[in-house]
Structure 1
Amino acid sequence: MAHVVVERSFPTPQSDEDLSRVEDQLAPCSGMHGVVWKRSVLSLDRRHMICEYDAPDAETVRKVQREAGAAFDHIWSGEIIGG
């Protein structure tokens, strides 16, 4: 499994309901493709987010995001360093 990062930016601050809606759209697609959400970090202004996944590869995460209609800026595989 690869560690995959999804970077997102939003034109307006996102409410908890906005974020839940996207999560609900992603869950079925993620399950079908073996993509597992690990955690997300939301900026204090609620306009930028980084989401981390375990997945077969970055392309699979791109496919899931597109199928679910979830907007993203960048998707890339990385290595966890440190704690």
Structure 2
Amino acid sequence: MSHVVVERSFPMPQSDADLYVLEDHLAPCSELHGVVWIRSVVSIDRRHMICEYEAPDAETVRKVQREAGAAFDHIWSGDVIES
């Protein structure tokens, strides 16, 4: 499994309800394709977010995002650096 990051930006600040709707759209597609959400971090202004996933590869995460209709800026695989 790969560690995959999704970067998102929003034209308007997102409420918690907005973000839960996004997650509701992503969950069924994620489960179908073996993508597991790890965590998300939203900026203080609520206009930027990164989401971390464990997935077979970055392309699978792209497929899930597109199928769910979730907008994203960048998707990339990386290594976790822990202290």
TM-score range, shorter chain: over 0.9
Q: Give the structure 1 partner of residue 16 of structure 2.
A: 16
Quote the sequence identity (%): 80
The reply on whether 1:56 has 2:56 as its aligned counterpart is yes
Residues matched between the structures, number: 83
Q: Give the structure 1 partner of residue 67 of structure 2.
A: 67
Q: What are the ranges of 5 or more consecutive residues in structure 1 without an aligned counterpart? A: none
What is the TM-score normalised by the length of structure 1? 0.98
Name the amino acid aligned to 1:45. Answer: D
Large movers: runs of 4+ above 3 Å: none
Deviations 1:15-46 (A, max 9, x none): 11100000000000000000000000000000
Tell me the distance in 2 between the aligned counterparts of 1:4 and 1:16. 23
